[in-house]
């Protein structure tokens, strides 16, 4: 009986060591993960004036969505309308999510003529804007 119990304990220990080794091999190292995820995010939130016409807001949406085809430094882009049930959006309705690979790419984007032309569309209809940039982790 003691031999059977000892064998079971040994097999369980070997089994647990094998599972730990396999899970470590499947997971990328921290440095590999950080290298893959190192992207600069540029978040832009818009609050439009109450007097802004729907057609003018649609022009802004289309113009912002067109920037990735005009500015090669933009690596990814998405946008959407607020639909949070929490009521904490402070009247910001539009969220635009722009991704860059480097601060140098963002430095090209910000003064880029196509970006500046887009910014010019905002003045008559934008109440407020909030911009946050961060490195994805």
Going along the chain, which residue ranges are E strands? 40-48, 76-81, 94-100, 126-135
| Whole-structure pTM value | 0.73
C-alpha–C-alpha distance, residues 58 and 45, integer Å: 15
Position 11 scores a pLDDT of 35
Q: What is the pLDDT of residue 47?
A: 98
Cα–Cα distance measured from residue 105 to residue 103, given in angstroms and rounded to the nearest whole number: 5
Domains observed in the chain? 35-135 (3.30.70.100)
**Which tokens in the block code for residue 124?**
């008559």
**pLDDT at residue 37, as a whole number:** 60
Give the contacts of 57 (CB within 8 A, at least 6 positions apart). 48, 94, 125
Residue 114 CB coordination number (10 Å): 14
Q: How far apart are CA 92 and CA 128, in angstroms?
A: 8
CB 117 within 8 A of CB 57: no
Task: Output the pLDDT for position 69.
Answer: 98
> Hey, what's the torsion of the CAs at 116, 119, 121, 127, to 10 degrees?
-160
Give the chain's residues under pLDDT 70. 1-37
């Amino acid at each position: 009986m003691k031999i059977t119990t000892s064998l079971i304990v040994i097999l369980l220990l070997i089994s647990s060591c094998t599972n730990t080794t396999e899970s470590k091999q499947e997971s990328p190292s921290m440095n590999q993960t950080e290298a893959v995820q190192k992207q600069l995010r540029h978040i832009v939130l818009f609050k439009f004036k109450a007097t802004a016409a729907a057609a003018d807001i649609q022009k802004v949406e289309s113009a912002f969505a067109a920037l990735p085809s005009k500015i090669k430094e933009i690596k990814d882009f998405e946008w959407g309308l607020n639909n949070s049930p929490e009521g904490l959006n402070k009247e910001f309705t539009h969220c635009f999510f722009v991704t860059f690979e480097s601060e140098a790419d963002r430095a090209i984007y910000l003064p880029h003529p196509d970006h500046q032309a887009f910014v010019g569309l905002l003045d008559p209809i934008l109440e407020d804007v909030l911009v946050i940039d961060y490195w994805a982790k």
